[in-house]
Structure 1
Amino acid sequence: MTSKKELQLAYGLAIVLLLVGILSYTVSSADVPEEPVRMMFQCSTGKVLFDHKTHTAESGYGLACNACHHHPEDSEDSPACRECHVLPADGSAPQICLDCHEADEIEMDSMMKKTDALHQQCIGCHKEQEAGPVECESCHVKYSF
């Protein structure tokens, strides 16, 4: 049988190793990618998981960023989709649009909501390229995690 002193030493060593492991894990964090690798869009018809790598990699669809995104990839002041595709309740142009466009250039009746823009862009491209899903339930999944 082990003595009480040996048991305390074993517990002490286990605690020290646990603390070293935790500190090592938190100090060496992974690099954050420049673009999101995967994005989960929340919607009433089921969540949509979007994978950038599948769309941009040569082994996937091999698309350039500006094939989907309205603003140039390298523009630092490029707004996020939700800044323009969520229209103000009063029907006015989103303020971010006025940073680059004149008020008379913006036609509010032709501006799409984010979901409409994504549907048009995604489904249109999938049908045109004959690649990727085109049925609703192929993208809109009821994830349970």
Structure 2
Amino acid sequence: MKKMLVLFAIVAFVAASAFVAVAQDKGPASITMEVKMGNVTFDHAKHQGLTDCATCHHTGDFAACKSCHDVKPEAPKSKKAYHDQCKGCHKKESGPTKCKGCHVK
């Protein structure tokens, strides 16, 4: 009985440690998107504290935007999605809204 209890405690500890490690992985600190107008470097770490993850990761997973946008016909093109989402929020929160505010050649 003692061996079962010890085994259960070890399994619970390992499972809890794995859960904490996954919960702490908040993705890359920054993401650079290479586009014709000039690269856009998105400060992912800064934005994490400003809004809830589901605002941008609306599908429930944490895949790259372009895994659907520009790939799946039912998803809006990435340019439209970024401009609608990012510029819309930037207008409300006083972020950059002019092209060169995000695009750097």
- TM-score calculated relative to the size of structure 2: 0.66
Between Structure 1 and Structure 2, which shows a larger proportion of helix residues? 2
Where 1:55 maps in the other structure, the secondary structure is helix
Identical columns (%)? 38
Runs of 4 or more consecutive aligned structure 1 residues displaced over 6 Å after TM superposition: none
Give the corresponding residue for 1:82: 66
Q: Which residue of 34, 39, 44 corresponds with 2:31?
A: 39
Which residue identity is paired with 1:141?
V
Paired with 2:76 and 2:92, the residues of 1 have a C-alpha distance of 21
Name stretches of at least 5 consecutive residues in structure 1 with no aligned partner: 1-32, 88-93, 95-106
Q: Which residue of 65, 68, 77 corresponds with 2:56?
A: 68
Paired with 1:79 and 1:38, the residues of 2 have a C-alpha distance of 15
Paired with 1:124 and 1:141, the residues of 2 have a C-alpha distance of 20
Name stretches of at least 5 consecutive residues in structure 2 with no aligned partner: 1-24
Paired with 1:34 and 1:135, the residues of 2 have a C-alpha distance of 28
Larger Rg: 1
Give the corresponding residue for 2:103: 140
Q: 1:118 aligned to 2:103?
A: no
- Compute the displacement of 1:133 (Å): 0.5
The 1:69/1:43 distance shift into structure 2, 3 A limit, reads same
- Compute the displacement of 1:128 (Å): 2.0
The 1:65/1:40 distance shift into structure 2, 3 A limit, reads same
The 1:119/1:65 distance shift into structure 2, 3 A limit, reads same
Q: For the aligned residues, what is the CA RMSD?
A: 1.9
Q: Which residue of 47, 53, 70 corresponds with 1:55?
A: 47
- TM-score calculated relative to the size of structure 1: 0.50
Paired with 1:39 and 1:50, the residues of 2 have a C-alpha distance of 5
The 1:133/1:66 distance shift into structure 2, 3 A limit, reads same
